[in-house]
Structure 1
Amino acid sequence: MSIQIDLSSDVAVVTGGGSGIGEGIAHLLAEAGARVAVADLSAEAAKSVAEQITAKGGTAIGVQVDIADEASVRQGLDAVREQLGPVSVLVNNAAAWAIKKFADTSAEDARRVVDVTLLGTINMMRAALPDLVATQGRLVNVASDSARVGEHSMSVYAGAKAGVVAVTKSLAQEVGRKGVRANVVAPGTTVTPGSSGFIEQVGGADKLARAYPLGRLGAPADIAGAVLFLVSPLSTWVTGQVLSVSGGFTML
């Protein structure tokens, strides 16, 4: 006896899908059968990941999207609908950050982080919501455990991710009776090209891993597995929740 997750009837959009955690999520959803739109600010990165997926037998397209720009979001989702169909799974993973102490964080830094991390996520949610309602779809926003416990030298990022958590819970209350589920995955420190600066600043991966009960930092596949659970039939009675995927570093 075995359990198989089949997402072959789904169209999934993954923002920030051109690298790191988003890339891992895009690959795993495609392996489960979803038709995947790899959305990224870099058209080249989005195309590269989509080509990797199709080379393995999956279905994927690359879509250039600046999530901080509403017009770009609309154009990107229109392209997804035209090529793959209506969106039934939306994974908001794209974010921006500034690794600086709060006193050194400029207004420009703060605006950029909030515009991408919080408002960009809201832009995607708003634009995709009609599809999610029509398909009784699933939304997963990738936040961070920094949203729950804070983060040294990433205060504005933590605040923006806390906003992502709150808006996800609020939306879950509004659309649950329409069959839409909305949840949050909150990673701990995950080794990606984007996290390398932070990891180096706090003393390196080996030193940081000693603070984790499971003895290591995360990998994109760890986060992707949690996302797959939340968009699958295994979680049909789960909505408005925050799932920490942090090797036990945060136990909330």
Structure 2
Amino acid sequence: MEKQILSLKGRVCLVTGAGQGIGRQVALHFASSGADAVVVNDFHQDRADDVAEEIKAMGGQAMAISADVTDRASVNEMVSKASRELGTIGVLVNNAGNMGAKPDEVEMAPFWTASTDTWDAFLAVNLYGVLNCTSAVIPGMIEDKSGRLVTIVSDAGRVGESGLEIYSAAKAGAAGFMRGVARSMGRHGITANSVAIATTRTPGVADVTEDAERAKRMLSQYTIRRFGEPEDVANMALFLASDAASWITGQTYPVNGGFSFNL
């Protein structure tokens, strides 16, 4: 019989920031690829509930949990609850990012004039959120001698982004953390990789992607003349979470329409 190498059968998957956009699509991809269960995390409980219901309507198993990834105690509680009720987390996708749960409250100013509270808003969710969630699932993965860690970063972390210097630093830090984890966890059968994305059609960037003139100017920088779709990123996340990527670790894969190239 042909082996389905993209199947996630036997694995419980946790996706952070999964109430909309890329996280939602990753959760749906995982459910449709046979995951035993998908833990749908979001800061907003109603969003998490909606996606969990979508998965259940597909015939999958899902648990919606509201937790702030920047709060280590809250993350530990989420992972403990999910593990008790569903089984050990075998796949973690660190997707929660951008400016956190309350972007309207983040001051947008040159980094040298912005307050440290503004810096912390970027660092907390994009870097410390990754550290918190990864540290919470690692013990179970070590015990199982198996695990997949996937962190969604950004091309800003690879090539830099004017006006988003702190965000760029946080995403670069998250990717570097994944490489360190890959080094230390490989002997336990755990892989750790990152996916670096460019502009992708999500609610958070609708003001850009739906502005025809602005979109035209931006797309002139892309080899493939379209913005990304959540499915583009979810496809790579599924690959890295599956047996197809069992000998891949410590890497950062650009999914960016050719916005930048990688060797």
Q: How does 1:86-235 map to 2 (within 5 A)?
A: 86-97=88-99, 100-135=109-144, 136-197=146-207, 204-235=214-245
Over 3 Å counting, the alpha-carbon distance change for 1:95 and 1:63 in structure 2 is same
Using the alignment, how far apart are the partners of 2:177 and 2:154 within structure 1?
14
- Asked if structure 2 preserves the Cα contact closer than 8 Å seen for 1:101 and 1:152, the reply is no
Using the alignment, how far apart are the partners of 2:194 and 2:205 within structure 1?
20
Q: How does 1:34-73 map to 2 (within 5 A)?
A: 34=35, 35-73=37-75
Using the alignment, how far apart are the partners of 1:202 and 1:143 within structure 2?
26
1:15 paired with 2:16, answer: yes
Identity of matched residues, %: 38
Structure 1 segments, 4+ long, off by >6 Å, are none
Q: Deviations over 1:98-141 (max 9, x none)?
A: 65433453211111111111011100011110112223110001
Q: Tell me, what secondary structure is at the counterpart of 1:204?
A: helix
Q: How does 1:240-251 map to 2 (within 5 A)?
A: 240-251=250-261
TM-score for the superposition, normalised by structure 1: 0.94
Q: Which runs of 5+ in 1 are unaligned?
A: none
Over 3 Å counting, the alpha-carbon distance change for 1:201 and 1:163 in structure 2 is farther
Letter aligned with residue 22 of structure 2: I
Using the alignment, how far apart are the partners of 1:101 and 1:200 within structure 2?
26
Question: Root-mean-square deviation (CA), in Å?
Answer: 1.9
Using the alignment, how far apart are the partners of 1:155 and 1:101 within structure 2?
9
Q: Tell me, what secondary structure is at the counterpart of 2:27?
A: helix
Q: Deviations over 1:26-54 (max 9, x none)?
A: 00011101110001111111111000111
TM-score for the superposition, normalised by structure 2: 0.90
Matched positions, count: 252
More displaced stretch, 29-38 vs 197-206: 197-206
Letter aligned with residue 134 of structure 1: E
Over 3 Å counting, the alpha-carbon distance change for 1:84 and 1:106 in structure 2 is same
Q: How many angstroms does 1:153 deviate by?
A: 1.8
Q: How many angstroms does 1:204 deviate by?
A: 2.7
Using the alignment, how far apart are the partners of 2:213 and 2:156 within structure 1?
18
Q: How many angstroms does 1:203 deviate by?
A: 5.6
Q: How many angstroms does 1:3 deviate by?
A: 6.5
Using the alignment, how far apart are the partners of 1:104 and 1:199 within structure 2?
28
